Amino acid sequence: MMKKITFSALALGLCFSAFAQEPLNTAIVQKIRTEGLEKSKAMDIAYHITDVAGPRLSNSPGLKRAQDWAVKYFKEMGLKNVHLEAWGDFGRGWQVDKYYAATTKPFYRPIIASPKAWTPGTNGPIKSEVVLIKADTITDLAKYKGKLTGKIVMIESATIQPLKNSYVADVVRYTEEKLAEMAAAQPAVPGAGRPGNAGNRPGADGNQRAMMMRMVSVRAAIDSMLLAEKIGLKLTYARGSYGTFFTSNGASYKLDAKPVNPELEVSSEDYLHILRLLRGGEKVEIEAEVKTSFYDKDPKGYNVIAEIPGTDPNLKSEIVMLGGHYDSWHSGTGATDNAAGSTVMIEAMRILKAIDFKPKRTIRIALWSSEEQGLFGSRGYVKEHFADPADMKPKAEHEKLSAYYNLDNGTGTIRGVYLQGNTAVKDIFQTWINPFADLGAKTITVGNTGGTDHQSFDGVGLPGFQFIQDPMDYNTRTHHSNMDTFDRLVEDDLKKSATIVASFVYHTSERADKLPRKEMPKPAPPRQ
């Protein structure tokens, strides 16, 4: 332990001299490291978000449990202005109350699956032979009419192929070569296409488009017929393998959503087992029971907000924000997506409170909801507080925000920062991250990662940043899957990440000036 601290102090001193133009408080960095790496509460925080609260689908009871816990925890921590803040209307919440399914013929075998989000239940236990529907055209459906009431059905598809073994490791970390490549990236040229794409992406030819449109039309007709027939349950193929399946929604969450069939998303191994039997002419019988509940009493969506108030008379009205999305999908407990990111940000706030930090600028944490449906929580918050992308007219707080830091790429430790094209902050961030080279964090890239809440801020000209994280098994095993549970979290990675975030937030708060910004985007033209 002593050797580690001595090395860290040396690293801090070297980095201070190399980047003297950007102040770095080495004593505070060491205090943050000690609190974050040796006294961490990260796993206890993650336990309450995942194991205790459960799945956190938008507007579900699980999300409300997690939000209520966060409000209580923030108040106990001594944060101020702790509240749930509505961002707008979302729609219905939903949860699984009971799920059971198994083949009973040709032999008993439990089925790994999950009801699709926002689909109804089976109205009690059902048992049925499985009907394999084969329809290449709408006229092919006529032979099934009047024969499917209460039945369990599957849809034949030539696109479903046998599984192949994987010989690539699920869990990976970035290599030094990959990080060097990211650090060497050059700013994008305005108007240029994506790297490696010379000209426009090739589209489908006329025959391919016609075929796709026909398939869509046939599938819509099948779903309509199945609803009219009042089937018992529909089985669909879930992406994934080795017992892992990646889930999705099977219906709209809108208050006026149209009725749909009960639907199970079935693991590939179990689905293919049943499909092979049916294709081989064998009879397959399944028993199942699905209970789901809808929640529409309060259709609004909420974010959790809390602050450490600023203390400098001239700077306390300015803001440094950090956050991550709090909602998840329903087949796991949303551990890596995104209890991990939320845990790191909560722990970063705890670290700053534990070292008795009195920031110059106000530090504000946000736990967003409904990111999974389209960044709704952060977009609604940005529109209310900073600017509406439709007109790009800055509101009062727009000028006050120094930066927003986001984390949402799994449990992997922070290895650096994506600049989102904001080259003016490169040397600043390099100074701030250098003390953590011994933790594997050193890379600053002008590149960007998309698909999460920092984009809501960047989209209205605010400095919004996502950290580079080790991929781990996020895309191969846990992202939106039934394996996204507490056990997939890596404690040391969460500790390191929270420590790094706390230091970045500290230095952003204490900096003489707000972080540099890119040019304010132009309003998006109205859709034709």
Range in 2-16, 250-264, 481-495 the model is least confident about: 2-16
Residue with structure tokens 């290599």? 175
Triad 188, 173, 332: Cα angle to 5°: 100
Q: What is the pLDDT of residue 218?
A: 83
In whole angstroms, what separates CA 325 from the centre of its chain?
6
Triad 226, 231, 233: Cα angle to 5°: 105
Triad 293, 120, 476: Cα angle to 5°: 90
The letter for the amino acid at 60 is S
Q: Which CATH number fits domain 2-90+299-510: 3.40.630.10, 3.90.1170.40, 3.30.365.10, 3.30.565.10?
A: 3.40.630.10
Range in 20-34, 67-81, 500-514 the model is least confident about: 20-34
pLDDT of residue 320 exceeding 80, the answer is yes
Q: What is the pLDDT of residue 193?
A: 43
CA 243 to CA 268: how far, in whole Å?
Answer: 8
CA 296 to CA 291: how far, in whole Å?
Answer: 17
Strands 300-308, 319-325: parallel, antiparallel or unpaired by DSSP? Answer: unpaired
Percentage of the residues of the chain whose pLDDT score is greater than 70: 92
> Across the chain, what does the average pLDDT equal?
92
**pLDDT (average), residues 513-526:** 91
pLDDT in tens, 438-458: 999 999 999 888 899 999 999
Q: What is the pLDDT of residue 189?
A: 66
pLDDT of residue 2 exceeding 50, the answer is no
CA-nearest of 231, 241, 278, 280 to 103 is 278
- Residues contacting residue 196 through CB under 8 Å, at least 6 positions apart: none
CA 259 to CA 196: how far, in whole Å?
Answer: 44
Q: Where are the alpha helices (DSSP H) in 376-490?
A: 376-385, 426-433, 454-458
pLDDT in tens, 273-316: 999 999 999 999 999 999 999 999 999 999 999 999 999 999 99
CA 254 to CA 330: how far, in whole Å?
Answer: 18
Q: How many CA atoms lie within 13 A of 328 on its CB side?
A: 38
Helix or strand or coil: residue 49? helix
CA distances 99 to 51, 120, 250, 298, 320, Å, are 19, 12, 16, 26, 44
pLDDT of residue 502 exceeding 90, the answer is yes
Q: 427 pLDDT band (50/70/90 cuts)? A: very high
pLDDT of residue 469 exceeding 90, the answer is yes
- Kindly list the domain boundaries of the chain, sorted by start residue: 2-90+299-510, 94-163+205-293
The two tokens of residue 518 are 């890119």
Note whether 327 and 63 are within 8 A (CB). yes
Q: What is the pLDDT of residue 397?
A: 97
Per CATH, the number for 94-163+205-293 is: 3.50.30.30
CA 113 to CA 231: how far, in whole Å?
Answer: 18
Query: What is the reported pTM?
Result: 0.92
The two tokens of residue 357 are 């930090």
Beta bridge partners of 375: none
Note whether 464 and 456 are within 8 A (CB). yes
Which H/E stretch holds residue 416?
A: strand 414-418
Helix or strand or coil: residue 84? strand
Q: What is the pLDDT of residue 311?
A: 98
Q: What is the pLDDT of residue 206?
A: 66
**pLDDT (average), residues 338-363:** 98
Note whether 286 and 102 are within 8 A (CB). yes
The letter for the amino acid at 421 is G
- Residues contacting residue 213 through CB under 8 Å, at least 6 positions apart: none
CA 138 to CA 215: how far, in whole Å?
Answer: 10
Q: What is the pLDDT of residue 332?
A: 98
Note whether 403 and 361 are within 8 A (CB). no
Mutual angle of helices 26-38 and 491-510, in 10-degree steps: 150
Range in 144-148, 186-190, 292-296 the model is least confident about: 186-190
Q: 205 pLDDT band (50/70/90 cuts)? A: low
Widest Cα–Cα separation across the chain? 81
pLDDT of residue 213 exceeding 70, the answer is yes
CA 86 to CA 95: how far, in whole Å?
Answer: 21
CA-nearest of 391, 420, 416, 427 to 404 is 420
Which H/E stretch holds residue 443?
A: strand 443-445
Residues 370, 119, 110, 52: is their CA dihedral positive or negative? Answer: positive
Q: Where are the alpha helices (DSSP H) in 235-388?
A: 268-279, 340-354, 376-385
The letter for the amino acid at 31 is K
The letter for the amino acid at 460 is V
CA-atom Rg of the chain in angstroms: 25
**pLDDT (average), residues 469-486:** 97
CA 92 to CA 293: how far, in whole Å?
Answer: 10
pLDDT in tens, 99-111: 999 999 999 999 9
Do 2-90+299-510 and 94-163+205-293 share a fold?
A: no
CA 500 to CA 283: how far, in whole Å?
Answer: 58
Q: What is the pLDDT of residue 312?
A: 98
